[in-house]
Amino acid sequence: MELHQLRYFMAVVREGTFTRAAERLYITQPSLSEQIRKLETELGTLLFQRLGRRLALTGAGEAFLPHAEKVMFEVEQARARVREFSGLRRGRLSIGVLHSPAARLLPVFLAEFRRVHPGVELVLREEGVSADLEQLVHDGVLDLAIIRLPKRRPDLEVKLLVREPMVLVVPPGHRLSDRRSVALAELADGGTVLQAGRLRAARRVRDRAAGDRARARAGWPRHHGGAPHGGRPGGQANPGAGPPRPP
């Protein structure tokens, strides 16, 4: 038994003749009659009987009709539900965020997303390190994440969203306190105070600063790939195939 046979059966019931049902279905009458015969053969009984120029359901046809209607109704419901997901009317979106970008970017975005897609559940996961969020996107735990550039996984696509300033805070009398700007290399030997749980971020800043200082001493150009975690560019990472787009 196939779905199109049920659809043909119900069309004949509605139209009362094979001719009108075939016209409504945009098929030939012999094709329609053949499909109804196959359905009757599978069920082992006649579904229609002729009453003058019209067709009427047999007792078996009357018993079969509500079940056919229920099946077709459920099929349409299933199609509608799938369309809701594909059209972002239903579903779940998991977003990973860092502390600073979350406060700056998410409120406006979330309000607008909820207005346009009220049936989609939003799940937020906050982490302190971009690399952790990249791994969660790669593993499929998150659908996307707001990270700091540069990204580390080549299999993720990135779109630049915003640039944030990096500010150095020093005590009065510090050797850098009267400077309007400071090169990262000048921080290689200094102590750093960070939030709890930001040790890896501090190490990346320190390593980048040491690298910039070594390049400067060797006369090489400074690294321009963006600061590590805690750096200026912030982007959105998405799982994707092929080479990533440049931020």
26/202: higher pLDDT: 26
pLDDT digits (tens, 9 = 90+) for 67-124: 998 898 888 878 777 766 666 666 788 888 887 766 777 887 888 888 888 888 888 8
pLDDT at 57: 92
Nearest to 148 by CA among 98, 114, 196: 98
Instruction: Check whether 133 has a pLDDT greater than 70.
Output: yes
Average pLDDT across the chain, whole number: 76
Residue by residue, DSSP assigns 47-96 as -EEEETTEEEE-HHHHHHHHHHHHHHHHHHHHHHHHHHHHTTSSEEEEEE
Sketch out the chain's domains with CATH numbers.
3-86 (1.10.10.10), 91-164+232-239 (3.40.190.10), 165-230 (no CATH)
Residue type, 226: G
pLDDT digits (tens, 9 = 90+) for 155-190: 888 888 877 777 888 888 888 888 888 887 777 666
Residue type, 108: V
Beta carbons of 136 and 96 less than 8 angstroms apart: yes
3-state SS assignment for residue 187: helix
The set of residues, in sequence order, having a beta carbon less than 8 Å from that of 143 and lying 6+ positions away, is: 93, 94, 95, 137, 238
Beta carbons of 129 and 200 less than 8 angstroms apart: yes
Peptide bond preceding 101 in cis form (omega within 30 of 0): no
Weakest mean pLDDT among 35-39, 57-61, 128-132: 128-132
Instruction: For residue 142, give both structure tokens.
Output: 């998150």
pLDDT at 66: 92
Residue 12 phi, psi (nearest 5): -65, -40
Instruction: For residue 216, give both structure tokens.
Output: 């400067």
The set of residues, in sequence order, having a beta carbon less than 8 Å from that of 10 and lying 6+ positions away, is: 65, 68, 69, 72
